């Protein structure tokens, strides 16, 4: 047996997930089609809304298209399986997980990362090309802005992942996390700017959104990419993202630790 | 017939009972469906609140809500009867279908009766009713006998159109394993479009919505019958009246196809 450092285990989990995603090609194409379609529907809707106006409150239609493509097409790659833990609890295989010399949480993160990288290349990639050719997209303000916005996107992934982990951990208390996960999805659609750009929210709702983690997932990326914010505001965006990452992590950790004690695995 | 209703009732009771084992979960599920489906229209309302836009292609916000409400109230009823057909590919694949064949009742009846998704029905239905009552209180529609009769028959027609699509794709499952997946993608994506005025979309999508998966007849044309917004000039007048007839014709064709397709069925065995 070769003596590999333990870190490689997580790489292996990520790789496993990456490879198993390759197996379902048909569903894969259908997913791409669906996201392209969604963007297309909303783009048409906003275009009809802009009818006769070149801009609404300083926001042009092509900025809206850029927002849709970044948050919907690229953000769509963020793969979080809210049901992952619940499935393991329901069929009892969670018992095996605890026996393995692997940190289960890191393992979930590794798998989700593997899936996300797969999605970025094979799902968002084609969808990105199709939508950019179809509806067009603003170029980034500068290459520096592009780089900084990518950093915000990575932080956004972590916010998103920690949120998902909280929902997953609820499976220790709730039999079916589907409802919670769906409600989370609704808040996501309304407050993260993915289908409804945050510029289009009434001021009161916009303020509410700024106090939720949803705002810290994609919107910072969009703002930085388009160059709508200055250096200080970029730092503020990063800081806010990290506040959410830490806060959500602590909540998730708390639920995880207490949930484990509650866990009863039946049968053998 | 009386026997069939009694059986439908029994089936529903059993399904409900099994679901209400977990009461909080049941409530949460209905709420989740309600909110998920309301997302689209909430987004539009928010945008209209933020900007002082007069409307989308001359449709003001109340008329858009009216258009939307049709989609949901019909689906609320549809899903009571056709849930079993939604994931029919699986039923064929894992051999559960054999069970239906062995029992002394019509196959389609059993599929319809044994699986009614009451949570989705409550979620979609409530949303439909809420939106419909809100919209009708704001828009000017003359409620004479003709309009009420039309609306009632269009409502049934709209359910049948969507039911026919369900039945058609379920029948395809006898030929292609993946038919259910295609159904999912096609049905949901096109249905999402149907929430908005047909005229805002490119021609090719409009044709798809009129002639391939005729969602336009589920809500756009029935709504236009009552509203007569300007963009109706793009379509033949006759389309306003077609929904009830189209529903019956489409359902009849889908049913015939179902009968033919079922003859092809060979059990997957165990």
User: DSSP of A124-177, one letter per residue?
Assistant: IHHHHHHHHHHH--PPPS-HHHHHHHHHHHHHHHHHHHHHHHHHHHGGGT-S--
What confidence category does residue A266 fall into, taking pLDDT thresholds of 50, 70 and 90?
A: low
* Location of structure tokens 């705002």: A215
- Across the strands, what pairs with B64? none
Mean pLDDT, rounded, for A220-244:
93
pLDDT of the residue at A268: 46
pLDDT of residue B270: 47
How far is Cα A262 from Cα A251, in angstroms, rounded to an integer?
A: 17
CB-closest option in B25, B38, B181 to A176: B25
Write out chain A residues lying below 8 Å of B35, CB-based. 182-183, 186
Distance CA B116, CA A150 (A): 46
pTM of the predicted model, to two decimals?
0.81
Residue A24 is predicted with a pLDDT of: 65
Using 50, 70 and 90 to split pLDDT, how confident is the model at B162? very high
Enter the ipTM: 0.80
Where on the phi/psi map is residue A52: left (φ > 0), alpha (ψ -120 to 50), or beta? left
What tens digit of pLDDT does each residue of A26-62 get?
Answer: 777 878 888 888 888 888 888 888 887 788 888 898 9
Write out chain B residues lying below 8 Å of A90, CB-based: none
Residue B156: the pLDDT is 94
CA B1 to chain centre: 25
Helix H or strand E segment including B215: none
Domain residue extents for chain A: 7-262
Q: Which residues of A touch B192 (CB under 8 A)?
A: 37-38, 41
Percentage of chain A exceeding pLDDT 90: 29
Average pLDDT, chain A: 85
Terminal-to-terminal C-alpha distance of chain B: 34
Nearest CA in chain A to B31: A179
Stretch A231-238: mean pLDDT, rounded? 93
Q: How confident is the model at residue A76 (pLDDT cuts 50, 70, 90)?
A: confident
Which range has the top average pLDDT, B64-73, B81-90, B96-105, B245-254? B245-254
Q: With beta carbons under 8 A apart, name residues in chain B contacting A51.
A: 56-57
Amino acid A232: pLDDT: 92
Measured in angstroms, the CA of B36 and the nearest CA of chain A are apart by: 6
Q: A26 and B49 in contact by Cβ < 8 A?
A: no
Subunit contact A48:B42, Cβ cutoff 8 A: no
Residue A43: name the closest of A140, A128, A131 by CA: A131
Cβ contact A38–B39 (<8 Å): no
Inter-chain contact B56–A49, Cβ cutoff 8 Å?
A: yes
């Amino acid at each position: 047996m070769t003596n590999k450092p333990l870190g490689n285990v997580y790489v292996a989990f990520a790789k496993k997930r990456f490879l198993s995603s390759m197996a379902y090609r048909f569903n894969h194409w259908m997913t791409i089609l669906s996201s392209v379609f969604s963007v297309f529907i909303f783009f048409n809707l906003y275009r009809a809304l802009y009818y006769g106006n070149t801009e609404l409150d300083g926001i042009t239609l092509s900025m809206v298209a850029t927002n849709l493509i970044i948050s919907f097409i690229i953000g769509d790659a963020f793969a979080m399986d809210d049901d992952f833990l619940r499935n393991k609890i329901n069929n009892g295989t969670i018992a095996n997980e605890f026996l393995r010399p692997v940190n289960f949480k890191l393992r979930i993160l590794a798998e989700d990362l593997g899936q996300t990288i797969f999605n970025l290349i094979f799902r968002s990639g084609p969808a990105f090309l199709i939508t950019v050719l179809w509806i067009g997209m603003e170029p980034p303000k500068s290459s520096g802005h592009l780089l900084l916005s990518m950093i915000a996107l990575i932080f956004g992934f972590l916010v998103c992942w920690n949120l998902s982990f909280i929902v997953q951990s609820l499976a220790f208390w709730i039999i079916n996390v589907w409802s919670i996960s769906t409600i989370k999805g609704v808040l996501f659609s309304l407050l993260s700017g993915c289908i409804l750009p945050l510029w289009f929210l009434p001021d009161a709702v916009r303020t509410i959104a700024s106090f939720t983690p949803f705002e810290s997932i994609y919107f910072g990326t969009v703002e930085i990419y388009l160059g709508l914010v200055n250096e200080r505001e970029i730092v503020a965006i990063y800081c806010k993202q990290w506040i959410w990452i830490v806060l959500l992590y602590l909540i998730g950790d708390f639920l995880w630790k207490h949930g484990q004690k509650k866990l009863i695995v039946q049968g053998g | 017939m009386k026997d069939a209703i009694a059986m439908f009732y029994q089936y529903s009771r059993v399904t409900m009972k099994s679901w209400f084992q977990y009461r909080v979960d049941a409530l949460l599920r209905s709420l989740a469906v309600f909110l998920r489906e309301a997302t689209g229209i909430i987004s539009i309302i928010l945008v209209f609140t933020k900007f002082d836009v007069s409307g989308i292609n001359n449709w003001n916000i109340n008329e858009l809500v009216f258009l939307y409400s049709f989609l949901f109230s019909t689906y609320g009823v549809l899903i009571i009867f056709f849930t079993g057909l939604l994931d029919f590919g699986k039923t064929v694949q894992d051999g559960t279908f054999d069970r239906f064949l062995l029992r002394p009742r019509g196959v389609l009846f059993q599929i319809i009766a044994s699986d009614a998704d009451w949570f989705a029905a409550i979620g979609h239905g409530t949303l439909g009713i809420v939106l419909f009552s809100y919209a009708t209180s704001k828009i000017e529609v003359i409620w004479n006998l003709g309009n009420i009769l039309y609306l009632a028959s269009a409502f049934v027609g709209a359910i049948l159109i969507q039911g026919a699509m369900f039945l058609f794709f379920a029948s395809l499952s006898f030929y292609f394993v993946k038919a259910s997946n295609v159904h999912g993608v096609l049905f949901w994506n096109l249905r999402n479009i149907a929430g908005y005025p047909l005229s805002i979309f490119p021609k090719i999508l409009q044709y798809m919505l009129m002639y391939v998966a005729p969602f336009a007849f589920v809500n756009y044309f029935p709504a236009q019958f009552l509203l007569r917004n300007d963009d109706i000039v793009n379509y033949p007048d006759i389309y306003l009246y077609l929904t009830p007839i189209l529903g019956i014709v489409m359902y009849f064709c889908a049913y015939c196809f179902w009968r033919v397709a079922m003859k092809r069925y060979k059990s997957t065995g165990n």
